[in-house]
Amino acid sequence: MKNILLKSTAILSILLFVAFTTTETKIVDTKESTINWVGHKVTGQHEGTITLQQGSLEFDANQLTGGNFVMDMTTINTTDLEGEYKNKLDGHLKADDFFGVENHKTASLVFNSVTKNGETYSVVGDLTIKNITNEISFELAVSENTASTTFQVDRTKYGIKYGSASFFDGLKDKAIYNEFDLTVSLKF
């Protein structure tokens, strides 16, 4: 009788644990999600896209708790130019003095902490570009099956110094700003 009671208690405990554990991983739809970039320079800006290779968001009781993403850096695409100038800029962004995509085909973002902040979530994560990892922070809005954010990345923290007035003198109007903007829209 004692064994039956212990087994029943153990089974009930397991069922209650499973019933009240609401952790869920939501896979991001890479075809419907977008990553747009804007790079600024003294004389203007350029913009384009990067393809999300894979991604997921972690939820517990419908509250965001984590995330993990991989970007396909070989897909860097300039959208504000055409023809020869587009091809030159795309090639330069993929070259070693920028993202070096031949040796660094992907970049990743892993959420380290997520804090509910009113209508959004404050996220702290590790962004890895060119095998260099730095911590970043941003606000993420989550609604039903979408999430979105806009934040800046300091490219020089990832060894991308080309055209930076922080590292080269005399660039004048050829200087490229250190920060570029990423606007991310996720569907899951």
74 within 8 A of 68, measured Cβ to Cβ: no
Query: What was the pLDDT predicted at 22?
Result: 77
Question: Alpha-carbon dihedral of residues 153, 169, 45, 158, nearest 10 degrees?
Answer: -20
Q: Where are the domains of the chain?
A: 21-187
The greatest distance separating any two alpha carbons of the chain, rounded to the nearest whole angstrom, comes to 87
Nearest to 153 by CA among 104, 98, 112, 114: 98
Q: How many angstroms separate the CA atoms of 82 and 13, rounded?
A: 63
Per-residue confidence in pLDDT tens, the chain, 188 aa:
555 655 555 554 554 454 455 799 999 999 999 999 999 999 999 999 999 999 999 999 999 999 999 999 999 999 999 999 999 999 999 999 999 999 999 999 999 999 999 999 999 999 999 999 999 999 999 999 999 999 999 999 999 999 999 999 999 999 999 999 999 999 99
Query: What was the pLDDT predicted at 181?
Result: 98
**CA 41 → CA 168, 170, 175, distances in Å?**
14, 14, 6
Task: Provide the b/e sequence for 20-54 (b: ≥16 CB within 10 Å).
Answer: eeeeeebebebeebbbebbbbeeeeebbbebbbbe
- Cα-based angle 11, 16, 18 (whole degrees, multiple of 5): 95
Q: Which residues contact 13 (CB under 8 A, 6 or more apart)?
A: none
Query: What was the pLDDT predicted at 12?
Result: 47
For domain 21-187, the CATH architecture is Beta Barrel (2.40)
Q: How many angstroms separate the CA atoms of 167 and 139, rounded?
A: 30
Q: Three-state SS across 43-57?
A: CEEEEEEEEEEEEEE
